[in-house]
Amino acid sequence: MKIAFFSTQPYDKEYFTRHNSGHDLVFFEAQLNEQTVPLADGCSAICAFVNDSLNAATIKQLAAQGVQLIAMRSAGYNNVDLPSAQLHNIKVVRVPAYSPYAVAEHAVALILTLNRKTHKAYNRVREGNFSLDKLTGFDLHGKTVGVIGTGKIGQVFCDIMKGFGCRVVAFDLIANKELESKGIEYLPLVQLLPQCDIISLHCPLTEQTKHLINADTLRLMKPGVMLINTSRGALIDTRDAIHALKTGHLGYLGIDVYEQEEKLFFHNLSEQIIEDDVIMRLMSFPNVLITSHQGFFTDEALTQIAKTTLRNVHDFEAGKPLENKVV
C-alpha cells in the first residue's frame, strides 16, 4: 500500500523506514490541510500527526483522491473530523499506547527541573557562576500530588510519584481499582484542587475537558501550586494561566504541549520573529518551563509507534479486524 506521511520529521523517516516491510512510503514535511491534500494523490492511505488538520473539507478531498485509511501515528485523534470520515467511508486508526513510561517520565522531568532549577544551574556553571542563590527547591517527599486522568500514562505517573514518597490523589470518571489498592485516593475535582502542591494533567482533550484549567479552577488551587501538562495544550486556558502566574497564585508551570502549538512545535524558528504573543509572554516567566511536545520522544516509543502504525495499515490491507480502529 502506498502511504503519504505528513508533518514528517527526520525521526519519522528513520523509524518507519527501519520497520517497513512491503509498503511504499512517501514522506512530506508539509502539514496536512486543505491546501496540501494533493500531495497524497495516488496514495491509498495517509499517516498524520497531532497537528495535521483533518477537518471535513480535508477528508472530503482525501476521499475524492481515493484515500481509504487515515493512520494516526499518535494516541490522540481530536484533530480528525470523525463524522466526515464515516460519511466518506474512510477508516481511522491510531496508536493507543506506545510508551506510557516516556510521557510519565517526562512529566516528572518537568517537575524536577522546575523544582530544583537544574536548567538555571547548568547555565550558571557554564558561565563560571557557582552561586546557589535563588536555586532553592523543595522536597517532593510528603507533598500532595494531584493526577487528573488515570489512564495508562496517568497510572505510571502515579506509581512514580508514590515512589518519591508523595501522597497521590486522583480525579477520573472511573476509578482505577489497582491504583486504589496502592493507596491512591480518588476525589471530586473541586476537592482535589485545593489540596495539591503539584497537579499533573493526563486526560484526553474532549469537549468536556477543553479549558479544564481556567480562571475558576485555578482559583481553587493552593497558592504557589505547580501545574504540569504533558497531555494536550487546550486543557489549559493559557491566558488564564498567565494571569495566575502574574499574580503569583500559580507558582510553577511546566508544559510539553501548547494550545496553538501547530505553528510552532517541531520547527526551528530560531532565526524568525515569533508572532505568537501568548507563548512569548509565557517564556518571559522565570517559573515557566516549556518543551516542544517531546514527551513521547524515546527510542522505545518511536519504535512502538512505527510498528503499530504499520501493523494497522497491514491489517487494513489484508482485510483483518482493525484492533486500533477509531471509526
Which positions are annotated as active-site residues? Answer: 232, 261, 293
Give 107-142 as a 3 state SS string: HHHHHHHHHHCHHHHHHHHHCCCCCCCCCCCCCCCC
What residues contact residue 162 under an 8 Å CB cut-off, 6+ apart?
Answer: 168, 182, 183, 184
- Whether the CB-CB separation of 240 and 246 falls below 8 Å is answered with no
The 8-class DSSP code of residue 184 comes to P
CA distance 184 to 172: 12
Instruction: With H, G, I as helix, E, B as strand and everything else as coil, classify residue 315.
Output: helix
Kindly state the cell numbers that stand for 106: 517526562
Kindly state the cell numbers that stand for 143: 507533598
In terms of DSSP bridges, do strands 2-5 and 45-48 run parallel, antiparallel, or are they unpaired?
Answer: parallel
196: closest CA among 181, 218, 174?
Answer: 218
CA distance 141 to 3: 49
**What are the distances in angstroms from CA 102 to CA 106, 134, 140, 154?**
6, 30, 20, 12
Helices vs strands, H then E, count in the chain = 12, 12
